[in-house]
Amino acid sequence: MTAILTSISDGIGTVALNRPDAMNTFNTELASGLSDALLAMEADTSVRVVVVTGTGKNFSTGIDLKEYLAKERHEIRDFLALMDRHNHVLAAMTKPVIASVQGYALANGTGLALACDFIVASDDAVFGTTAVNVGLICLEPGYQLARWIGEKRALQYVLTGDLIPAHKGKELGFIYDVTSREHLEDTVGKLAKRLASKSALSLKTGKRGFTSMSCLPVDRAVEVGGELFSALAASEDGREGVEAFLAKRPPVFRGR
């Protein structure tokens, strides 16, 4: 069984974790395949939005602990670097990425979902930085959680391993939408189509802009944002969007 499944339809690329019998845990094949698939989606000009999902009952329950225990001590760092590689890939992507989450999203599964731009979850979804329960600790997933809810609150979840039901996650602000499991695919599809209808150049500018402005002093952040916005405003897409709005017609974006 292939650990990662991919498909592309109407500008929406889907990357599915495909180890359902193992709760989509990260082994070497899945981790490397996930990053490679995301890179391929980023490079494919026909793809405007990416959806990350998991087959079966659960999104992902983290790293495959059996493979972890089979590693010699000198192999652990490289193994874990591979498990974390998707964080670097997602951070560099210029296309919107939606995590479609059902069932359990724990440890590295939570980290993967949080590294995406949107999380849409079924109402039975459960998140958690749970590695502390087996004598480890969720530093990378905890970092991703802190980006959404703040360092102190995230640290509390990392240290306790407390679970976060989907509705609580929406209340905390890291989940965009919660729906029933039967409507999850449709809800995600509607959001993906909304994003795909927008200017790819403006979405790309938005993602790069937030990354570039992060952690800068306010004056420098405003300056960087202004430079990026000016470039977008001078682009064909920028002018087309405004002209279409004033003319009360649908815009035709070309990515220029």
Q: Could you read off the pLDDT of 213-251 as tens digits, one per residue?
A: 988 999 999 999 999 999 999 999 989 899 989 999 999
Q: How far apart are the C-alpha atoms of 218 and 198, rounded to whole Å?
A: 28
Same domain for 207 and 124: no
The pLDDT tens digits of the residues spanning 51-73 come to 999 999 999 999 999 999 999 99
Same domain for 242 and 181: no
The pLDDT tens digits of the residues spanning 72-117 come to 999 999 999 999 999 999 999 999 999 999 999 999 999 999 999 9
Let me know: does 182 contact 125? Beta carbons within 8 Å. no
Mean model confidence pLDDT for the chain: 96
Same domain for 145 and 243: no
In a domain, 253, yes or no: no
Domain count, the chain: 2
Give the pTM: 0.95
Give pLDDT, residue 1.
83
Same domain for 243 and 162: no
Same domain for 135 and 114: yes
Stretch 152-173: mean pLDDT: 98
> Which token pair is 46?
């026909």
Same domain for 209 and 186: no
- The 3-state DSSP class for residue 153 equals helix
Residue 143 has pLDDT above 80, yes or no: yes
The pLDDT tens digits of the residues spanning 3-15 come to 999 999 999 999 9
Same domain for 94 and 211: no
Supply the DSSP symbol for 152. Answer: H
Same domain for 240 and 136: no
Same domain for 222 and 108: no
Give pLDDT, residue 256.
64
């990260």: which residue's tokens?
26
